[in-house]
A and B are shown apart, each in its own frame.
Chain A
Amino acid sequence: MGHEPAPLPLDGVLEYLGFLLDGEGYAIPIEGIAEIMKPLPIAPVPRARREILGVMSVRGRLATVVSLRACLGLGPRRVDARTRILLVEAAQEDLGFLVDEVTGVFHVDASEVEPPAVLGADFGAHVRGAARPDGELVVLLDVTSLLPARAGEH
């Protein structure tokens, strides 16, 4: 976790999954997502860092549930009927990112992606750019660098 995100391809059509956090639009590349699911029973892991909500079991495998809100510095929000988990199967770990609501898949041409600078000065490595699939601004994120480095690993 916390390594450099792969650069966006310069051409071609990119496919993203869009979701909402506090009503704002975000998206991650669809190819990284193994499954979109309603939250399963989650067991909290006491004394884990704030971004980690707990663990759940998906088809016999443990997945770490991460609050995407907390990763981006947003406050907590209770799970409701629209909450979804985006399951990303990484090499060493399965991660489930909790989001407020999923909006859907959209396509955007690589040439239409705006660089992160457009969002202002302060952004982390996890922001790859922005797009406006239907007029509204959507922030494109890189999942792999979303989870900050482990505590003690600076």
Chain B
Amino acid sequence: MEGGSYREGAQERARDEFFSEAQELVDALTRDLLALDEAKRRGALRPELLNDVFRAVHTLKGLSSLFGAVVLSALSHELENLLDDLRMGRTELDDGVLDLLFKAVEAYGRILASEKQRGESGGDASAEHAHDEVNELLAELAALATQKGRPAEVLAQYAIDPAMLGVLTEYEEHRLRSAVESGLRLVRLFVRFPLSSIDASFDTLKDSLRAHGEIITYLPAGDDDGGAEERPVDAIDLEVIVASSRSVDELRVAVAAQTSRLDEIPRRVGRAGQKPSVPVEAESRPQVGLPDLSYAQEPSISDLSIEDMASVVGLPPEMQQALGLLPAQVELPAGASPGGASTRQISLRSVSQTVRVDIRKLDRLMNAVGELAIVRGSVQRLADTLRLGHDGAPATASSRRLGAELLRVHRMFERRLAELQQGVLDVRMVPLAQVFDKVARIVRQLSREHGKPTNFVVTGADTEIDKLIVEELSDPLLHMVRNAIDHGIEAQAEREREGKPATGTLALNAFQKGNHVVIEVEDDGAGIDPQALIRRAKARGLLTELEAQEMSAKEALALVFLPGFSTKDRVTDLSGRGVGMDVVKTNIAKIGGTVEVQSGLRIGTKVVVTLPVTLAIISVLAMGVAGYTYCMPLASMEEALALDPSQVRSMLGREVLSQRGASIPLVRLSELFVSHAHEVLDAPAAPRTLDKYVVITSIGNRRVGFVVDQIFGQQDIVLKALGPSLAGVPGFSGATELGDQRVALVLDVAALHEEVYGQSAERAKQLEAV
């Protein structure tokens, strides 16, 4: 956004704001709809949720209209009508309606994405499709709507008793709307008339009020009209709605003879400084209907702050609070609330406790902190040099003193840096809930589509993980969940035959385990038949006869991760392009995780995904091999010790270390890590003793010992990805810059384990075949 005018910049910012606001609202809508669904299934009603959904849609309508997102606005408009019917009890929230709501929210999400793209790229690709979809939805909504009459949406802004609104005649409704649109004040009176003279009394009331306003309607007041004394049997209490331009006090005086109970029906809109009275002089007041501002009308958007826009649109203050947009000052008009409270002022500070941050800013922060860590290392080396001297120059007394002082300061630096690092990491962390909610919605949809009622259980949704990892998680998770519902959970009839509850259970569990987050997708379905897997692998030429015979059930389960493998012949539309578990595994590996399948035939299947908590900064052990430095992630490391040659044995053609009664396969990195670079580059100084240490690593319950020349120590590094041209090289998860521009490769321990154990199995089979 360099070089644009300030106006363009402001417009761009306003647009970005719109998209994040809208997305948040859509997310909140999803959660609420899911909760409504859940409650409905339990047979409970949640009217306040319905009201929240209504208000969210109302806000969306306003926002969309303001930004010229015409499609969204139209959809919101119709949805709002439906939701109003629902919350007023005029329409029942049955499955069909709930489905429609879900579909609409999903359409929202898609339209938002396509509007965003359209703005960015100028292209119009998905707009057509989105329009069709919306038109369909609108038609469905209209069909529902024509069954009922409904009060004008504008009236929803007033705290009028819904029961009253419901019984307004068309004329009365029209009068009410008209009064509101003219900016008249709405006032409510409670009168008690003797039954015998009700007509006369009412006429008197009308006379009193004629000069001051218009009686819109009246209704027998309910018994709970607040503090009235016991009503005599021959009297009737009435609630009367009056529209007037006069102040509440004036009106009170006018009807004093007949009642003292009069108060204003609060209007839930307040533009800073504007009082909703005085209609005649039509100044520029916020319209109750929504202005149709579009991107093109520059002055409107770029001159208004988002707060102003929110007020213009008519968001109730509490909604604005929830969105984190409080207007600078909101003065409620005198007499607005019952009892005529004096003007209240809402403070400038947003009640919202969260801040939205662009992930790229976080990345830059992370990099800066990482570079700072490198600087810290240099400071430490400098301190050591001062204290201990370096070749050719022994330390003098004064340099030793300085060195000690520097070391002390360095320690403080180190502590603060660790705090800073942790703080930045924490900022990147988001709860898994955001992707779990998405999954929940899909589960609901899928289980309905397939007629497989499914009980969806989630635990640990508040487990936190790096934001970047979360983004990459949703596709693999969705795929696993689709598998579970499509292939895992059996049809009801079959489940009953098996003696299982008719409703299947799908559980999504997440928990932190050391430096990792574990996510499990578990179903109580049919399970996976290892024999079927083996048969299929053989049929596809992925296994030899011998291998098939030798394979254990546990190893067989891992077959699902082979490319091109699938246990069902047809490509169901659930699994889309027939994307297999191999893609899931690749995607999980991309974010530094591993995936494993466990299953019991007819019992169920559990897919376990293990992920690093954060990608960016990891703790490693720096090691030297043939003069070059390599990093071993501490997360996989068990211990490092001096290699005792007498403990090394040979087994099946491979070296193993005997340690405490166990045999650990050994890999001499100096042999494994061969490269042609030595033909071109000058070789670094080789250390005096080679293959001196062994670093023992573990993944799951398998261990491998890596033999190295040197061990330099532990440090935190910023992991940087290797370029695409190096993607095929096995065994490295990235590289990092050590001080003074040197680079160290970071080992991918899981991949190396695969190599070792894969090879061992190979070798074993070869030897047995002999």
A29 to B134, CA, bound (A): 50
How many chain A residues sit at the interface, stated as a range, is 35 or more
- Cβ of A94 and Cβ of B723 under 8 Å apart? yes
A154 contacts the other chain (CB 8 A): no
A124 within 8 A of partner (CB):
no
Q: Mark B362-377, 1 if CB is under 8 A from A, else 0.
A: 0000010001000000
Could you tell me which residues of chain A, from 91 to 116, have a CB within 8 Å of some CB in chain B? 92-95, 98
Q: How many Å from the CB of A152 to the closest CB on chain B?
A: 6
**Which of A45, A67, A78, A147 meets B732, CB within 8 Å?**
A45
Q: Which residue of B lies closest to A56 (CB)?
A: B743
CB of B127 closer than 8 Å to a CB of A: no
By the criterion CB–CB under 8 Å, are A40 and B741 in contact? yes
A94 to B722, CA, bound (A): 10
Q: How far is the CA of A41 from the CA of B732 in the complex (A)?
A: 19
Whose C-beta in chain B lies nearest to the C-beta of A90? B723
A47 contacts B by Cβ under 8 Å: yes
| Bound form: Cα–Cα A60–B367 in Å | 9
| B681 in contact (CB, < 8 A) | yes
Select one of B723, B731, B745 contacting A43, CB under 8 A.
B745
List A residues 53-107 near B (Cβ within 8 Å).
Answer: 53-57, 60-64, 66-67, 76-79, 92-95, 98
Which residues does A use to contact B, with CB under 8 Å?
Answer: 1, 40-48, 50, 52-57, 60-64, 66-67, 76-79, 92-95, 98, 147, 150-152
Q: Given A54-B677, A76-B676: A43 and B741 within 8 A (CB)? A: no
Given contacts A46-B673, A93-B724, 9 further A-B contacts (CB under 8 A): A41-B740, A43-B628, A43-B735, A43-B744, A44-B678, A45-B722, A55-B726, A76-B680, A93-B725
Check B724 against A41 for contact (C-beta < 8 Å).
Answer: no
Among B673, B682, B737, B742, contact of A78 (Cβ-Cβ < 8 Å):
B682
Question: Which A residues are CB-close (under 8 A) to B674?
Answer: 46-47
Verify if B672 is at the interface (C-beta below 8 Å from A).
yes
In the complex, how many angstroms separate the beta carbon of A92 from the nearest chain B beta carbon?
A: 5
Q: Is the CB of B741 within 8 A of A42?
A: no
Contacts of B726 in A (CB 8 A): 45, 48, 52, 55, 64
Which of B629, B722, B725, B742 has most chain A Cβ within 10 Å? B725
Give the chain B neighbours of A67 by CB distance below 8 A: 680
The answer, yes or no, to whether B679 is at the interface (CB within 8 Å) is yes
Residues of B within 8 A of A61 (CB): 720
Asked whether any CB of chain A lies closer than 8 Å to the CB of B211, the reply is no
B728 close to A152 (CB less than 8 A): yes
**Contact indicator B680/A55 (Cβ below 8 Å):** no
Tell me how far the C-beta of A145 lies from the nearest C-beta in chain B, rounded to whole angstroms: 13
Chain B residues contacting A64 (CB-CB under 8 Å) are: 722-723, 725-726
| List of A residues within 8 angstroms of B629 by Cβ | 43
Which residues on B sit within 8 Å (CB–CB) of A76? Answer: 676, 679-680
A98 to B677, CA, bound (A): 12
Residue of B nearest to A43 (CB): B743
Measured in the bound complex, the distance between the Cα atoms of B728 and A152 in whole Å is 8
Count of residues in B whose CB is under 8 Å from the partner chain: 36
Residues of A within 8 A of B737 (CB): 57, 60, 62
The CA-CA distance from A76 to B730 in the complex, in Å, is 24
By beta carbon, the residue of chain B nearest A54 is B677
Residue contact B673 to A79, C-beta cutoff 8 Å = no
One of B371, B677, B727 near A60 (C-beta < 8 A): B371
Chain B contacts for A150, CB-based, 8 A: 724-725, 727-728
Chain A contacts for B675, CB-based, 8 A: 44-48, 54
| Cβ contact within 8 Å between B628 and A147 | no
B741 cross-chain contacts in A, Cβ below 8 A? 40-41, 56-57
Cβ-defined contact, A47 with B744, below 8 A: no
B729 at interface, CB cutoff 8 A = yes
Q: Which residues of B contact A43 (CB under 8 A)?
A: 628-629, 735, 742-745
Which single member of A42, A63, A93 contacts B681 (CB below 8 Å)? A42
- A127 CA to B333 CA in the complex, in Å? 78
Contact indicator B680/A62 (Cβ below 8 Å): no
**Within the assembled complex, what's the spacing in Å between the Cα atoms of A146 and B454?**
54
A20 to chain B, nearest CB (A): 16
CA A62 – CA B734 in complex, angstroms?
10
Q: Which residues of B contact A41 (CB under 8 A)?
A: 740-743
What A residues does B743 contact at CB under 8 A? 41-43, 54-57, 62
Q: How far is the CA of A45 from the CA of B732 in the complex (A)?
A: 9
- How many angstroms between the C-alpha atoms of A23 and B720 in the bound complex? 37
Chain A residue, CB-CB nearest to B676: A50
Complex alpha-carbon distance, A67 and B680, angstroms: 9
Top 4 nearest A-B pairs (CB, nearest first) are A93-B723, A44-B677, A46-B673, A76-B679
Taking CB as reference atom, which chain A residue is nearest B683? Answer: A44
| Assembly CA distance A41 to B745 (angstroms) | 13
- Complexed CA–CA distance, A76 and B679 (Å): 6
Which residues of the other chain, B, contact A95 by a CB distance below 8 angstroms?
A: 723, 725
Chain A residues with Cβ below 8 Å from B740 are: 41
The winner among A41, A43, A47 for most chain B CB atoms within 10 A is A43
Is B730 within 8 A of A77, CB to CB? Answer: no
Instruction: List A contacts of B628 (CB < 8 A).
Output: 43-44
In the docked arrangement, what's the CA distance between A50 and B371, Å? 31
Q: How far is the CB of A45 from chain B (nearest CB, A)?
A: 6
CA distance A152 to B725 in the complex (A): 12
Selected contact of B682 from candidates A60, A79, A151, CB within 8 Å: A79
Output the nearest chain A residue to B367 by Cβ-Cβ distance: A60
Contact A42 B725 (CB under 8 A): no
Indicate if the CB atoms of B681 and A55 lie closer than 8 Å: no
B528 to chain A, nearest CB (A): 29
CA–CA, A111 and B58, complex, Å: 66
A127 to B628, CA, bound (A): 36
Give the complex CA separation of A150 and B723 in angstroms: 12
A-B contact pairs, 18 of them (CB 8 A): A41-B740, A41-B742, A42-B681, A43-B629, A43-B745, A45-B675, A46-B731, A47-B729, A48-B675, A52-B726, A55-B722, A57-B737, A64-B726, A77-B680, A78-B682, A93-B724, A98-B680, A150-B728
Report the bound CA distance from A63 to B741 in whole Å. Answer: 12
Bound CA–CA A78/B677 (angstroms): 10
Query: In the complex, what residue of chain B is closest to A147 when comparing beta carbons?
Result: B725
Bound-state Cα–Cα, A63 to B737, Å = 11
A47 and B673 in contact, given A53-B681, A55-B735, A79-B682 (Cβ under 8 angstroms): yes
Q: Which of A45, A78, A94 contacts B729 (CB 8 A)?
A: A45
User: Could you say which residues of chain B place their CB within 8 Å of the CB of A60?
Assistant: 367, 371, 737
| B326: min CB distance to chain A, Å | 41
Of chain B, the residue at the smallest CB distance from A64 is B723
Nearest CB of A to B369, in Å: 13
* Most chain B CB atoms below 10 A, which of A47, A66, A67: A47
